[in-house]
Amino acid sequence: MPVNKIVASFDEAVADIQDGAVIMVGGFGTVVSMPSCLLEALDRKGVKNLTTVSNSSGFGADVWRMQGAKFPEDMDILVRNGRIKKAIVSAPVSAMYVNNFEKLLRAGKVEIEMVPQGTLAERVRAAKAGIGGFYVPVGIGTVIEEGKEKKVIDGREYLLELPIKADFALIHAYKGDRWGNLIYRGTSRTFNPTMAGAARVTIAEVDEIVELGELDPEAIVTPGVYVDRVVARPRECPAP
């Protein structure tokens, strides 16, 4: 049987995500880099007590709709609907305004583990690459070092950082094929290829599904081996 990782709908793609799951969500700050339709489907499913791993905590669909985004949901959909128990995150709040995550945080309704962005990326990669832990200088002399093992290597002080293991990674790519090979577009690459393969199950939301062999083998960013499911965004705007 030909390998076929393509699933028909977003609801089907997230059907086995249960309450309490650890979920990685790809992308960076702007919504175009994020798996918006997967986030919507996950929210529709009504899961609770998620631990999320993401760069940011969301601005909210309204902000992105104003900018004309076709698929406007970011992490905020999980935040505002109370689906998150704990967030492992690099950029949780905004200097510019108070987002919903900050409100929950102040109200003591969500736990947070704030991680420097590069360390977050490396901890995610470590999970994918079978690395048991690694040492970085980043965080020495700051609150980040609290509770962590320190080690001097070659005269410099380092902190031990551990892999972040997750049940599901929800990512967004530009194009994908039935083997799960993926390419991205511009700066919407970010955490998406880093998270691909870092969770037990990786689900990729793509703008377009192409035939096997259409993607240039020299330009494929995520080898299909890291991807378990591929689901395409609708060509037309969904009804509001």
Binding site for a copy of itself (CB under 8 A): 122, 126, 129-137, 151, 153-154, 156, 158, 162, 183-186, 216-219
Q: Which is nearer to a copy of itself, 80 or 125 (CB)?
A: 125
Rounded distance, CA 40 to CA 38, Å?
A: 5
Minimum distance from residue 185 beta carbon to a copy of itself (Å): 7
CB-CB contact of 76 with 62 (8 Å): no
Place of tokens 């993607």: 215
Rounded distance, CA 14 to CA 167, Å?
A: 12
190 binds, among a copy of itself, other proteins, none (CB under 5 to 8 A by kind): other proteins
By rule CB under 8 A, what count of residues binds other proteins?
72
DSSP 222: B
CB-CB contact of 166 with 157 (8 Å): no
Considering only residues 46, 130, 147, 240, which one is a binding residue for other proteins as defined by CB under 8 A? 130
Does 116 bind other proteins (CB under 8 A)? Our answer is: yes
HSE-CB at 197 with a 13 A cutoff on CA atoms is 16
Considering only residues 8, 107, 143, 239, which one is a binding residue for other proteins as defined by CB under 8 A? 143
Q: Which stretch binds other proteins (CB under 8 A): 16-24, 37-45, 122-130, 229-237?
A: 122-130
Residue 141 phi, psi dihedral angles, 5° rounding: 80, 10
Q: Which is nearer to a copy of itself, 106 or 185 (CB)?
A: 185
Q: Which is nearer to other proteins, 47 or 123 (CB)?
A: 123
Residue 84 phi, psi dihedral angles, 5° rounding: -105, 130
188 binds, among a copy of itself, other proteins, none (CB under 5 to 8 A by kind): other proteins
- What is the C-alpha R_g of the chain? 18
